[in-house]
Amino acid sequence: MVFSVREKDLAGRIGELVTRTGRLETPALLPVVNPVLQIVSPEEMKQIGFQGVMTNAYIVKRHWDRWTEKKIHAILDFDGVIMADSGAYQLLRYGEIELSPTELVRLQEEIEPDIAVILDVPTGWDVDRGRAEYTVMETLRRAELTAKIRKKSGILWVCPIQGGTFLDLVRKSAVESSKLNYDAYALGSPTRVMEEYDFATLVEMIATARFNIPMNKPLHLFGAGHPMMFAMAVALGCDTFDSASYALYAKDGRYMVEHGTLKVERMEYLPCDCPVCRKRDVEDFKEGEAKEKLLALHNLYKCYEEIERIKEAISEGRLWELIKLRSFSHPALRLAFKKLLKYVERIARYTPSTKDVGLFIFDEEDLQRPEILIAEKRMLERYSPPRREFLVILPPPPTKPYLRDERVRILLKEIEKKGLLSRLHVCFLSEVFGVVPYELSETYPFSQHEVGELGFSNVAKRRVLEYLRAHKSFYKQAIVAADLAEVAELVEEAGLVVHKIPFNWKKKEIKRFVAVFENWARRR
């Protein structure tokens, strides 16, 4: 296996890509290195922690006489993983390059990068459908050609997915590319989308590509830009990125922070503890010949820090919390997060159903997180409640897990003592899951979550109805705590006869509730 997955959360994963040079842990950012002009050397990037870099085979070719040693690791003086782009970006920017797809294959095989990209035809930004269709079909033709003529083993080949903002074309490109069995795939033409801060469209492009190629193949995102969007891209299934933003921002005097960039000329403090900032004051970034390099190094540290933070979030099972936090970095990221919710059912297929941590529920958006959808789906499709005369819906006890709450034990003991176990099925109202049967209350994540001030939302109401409609044949009637009036209405809507009995979790009231039911049942 070229690529293996060690841990996963949402559609993101911590994996390992095996190359001829070594192993690359993913998610991984590959800083872009110009083989001719380097503001930061690959060796300095390695000292920061980067295991790989991205360079450009076409630029190498244009300066071919510059190097006596033609292997890319010698040219860059770097012993880590090197991915070589093809020159397609220059093709997009200038309209043409002096390199054919066949010549590119021979060039890549001569310089021997670990990972090579075919010479695709990028769709670009703001093109009509006819042009987009051409880029898809021509890239597929070139991918088929490359697959036939490549000879040298040991190089991992990447097939870009084109189509731009035409999602049906992105889907077609992904599906057809998958048939060619490349080592990895890449989402083409996202750079201008990110430059325009159209992150919502980027979410759709990534999701369309990711979910139409094999999940056991890594997905690369070209030109990833600012690290504030890395987490969302990883959550959608991107495994590797390249970015020149560290240098481009430095050239423009922009200092990366978690929520965006600051113009260094306006800064009075250094809000960072990276090795670059720790030894200097803000004036060092404003004056002197080295100021651009200092900015570039700081920006690289921020990018590396974010990748490490993402991996830790995956390991802890907290990637959802991280992308939610990052979505508040910019209004465009908030729109992107809302767009991501459109794909949450697909993301749920790759999310662990159990975790070592509880879920944090802040608002109704969090009610759609994959772990909750998984639990809801399983309860509706796989769970069969015991056949009882009465479904009992009570407010949740004050502490979780519910079955460990002393008051719940008192309730169940009283029911058993009165000989009512065979007639009652106790469930708890949940503002997250709707209805939680007592026997499932310790199952993840029915008790393993923390909720803010959410209230009985429309989502919870829908889930109550779904439970009742799926399982009402197991009951004849329902008993609902008297103060849960909205729940009683939902029970009636589902077609069950409902009775309301006063209830609260005070110990005396628990016993009184059971006694009231016993007397009421006898009279009937």
State the DSSP H helix or E strand holding residue 177, giving kind and residue range, or none if neither: helix 167-178
pLDDT digits (tens, 9 = 90+) for 398-433: 888 888 899 999 999 999 998 888 899 999 999 999
Instruction: Using the predicted structure, report yes or no on whether residue 211 has a pLDDT greater than 60.
Output: yes
CA distance 436 to 164: 44
Q: What's the average model confidence in pLDDT over 482-511?
A: 91
Q: How confident is the model at residue 188 (pLDDT cuts 50, 70, 90)?
A: confident
State the number of CA atoms in the 13 A half-sphere of 166 facing the CB. Answer: 22
The b/e string for 262-281 (b: 16+ C-beta within 10 A; e otherwise) is bebeeeeebebebebbeeee
Q: What's the average model confidence in pLDDT over 384-408?
A: 91
State the number of CA atoms in the 13 A half-sphere of 112 facing the CB. Answer: 16
Instruction: Decide: residue 214, CB within 10 A, 0-12 exposed, 13-18 middle, 19+ buried.
Output: exposed
Predicted pLDDT of residue 1:
61
The pLDDT mean for the chain works out to 92
State the number of CA atoms in the 13 A half-sphere of 75 facing the CB. Answer: 29
485 C-beta neighbours (distance < 10 Å), count: 10
Predicted pLDDT of residue 93:
65
**Which tokens go with 254?**
């922009």
Q: pTM for the whole thing?
A: 0.93
Instruction: Using the predicted structure, report yes or no on whether residue 455 has a pLDDT greater than 90.
Output: no
CA distance 186 to 388: 55
pLDDT digits (tens, 9 = 90+) for 31-88: 999 999 889 999 999 999 999 999 999 899 988 888 888 899 999 999 999 999 987 7
Active-site annotation, residues: 85
Instruction: Using the predicted structure, report yes or no on whether residue 161 has a pLDDT greater than 90.
Output: yes
Q: What's the average model confidence in pLDDT over 264-271?
A: 94
DSSP 359-395: EEE-SGGGGGSHHHHHHHHHHHHT--PPP-SEEEEEP
The b/e string for 179-213 (b: 16+ C-beta within 10 A; e otherwise) is eeebbbbbbbbbbbbbeebbbbbbbbbbbbbbbbb
Contact assessment for residue 401 and residue 442, using Cβ atoms and an 8 Å cutoff: yes
374 C-beta neighbours (distance < 10 Å), count: 19
Q: How confident is the model at residue 91 (pLDDT cuts 50, 70, 90)?
A: low
Does domain 3-246+302-348 fall into CATH 3.20.20.105? yes
**Which tokens go with 441?**
């209350």
Structural domain spans, the chain = 3-246+302-348, 360-523
Instruction: Using the predicted structure, report yes or no on whether residue 94 has a pLDDT greater than 60.
Output: no
Q: How far is CA 492 from CA 147, 159, 380, 438, in A?
A: 63, 56, 19, 22
CATH number assigned to the domain with residue range 360-523, chosen from the 4 options 3.40.50.1970, 3.20.20.150, 3.40.50.10630, 3.40.50.10860: 3.40.50.10630
First to last CA, the chain: 68
Give φ, ψ of 260 to 5 degrees: 160, -140
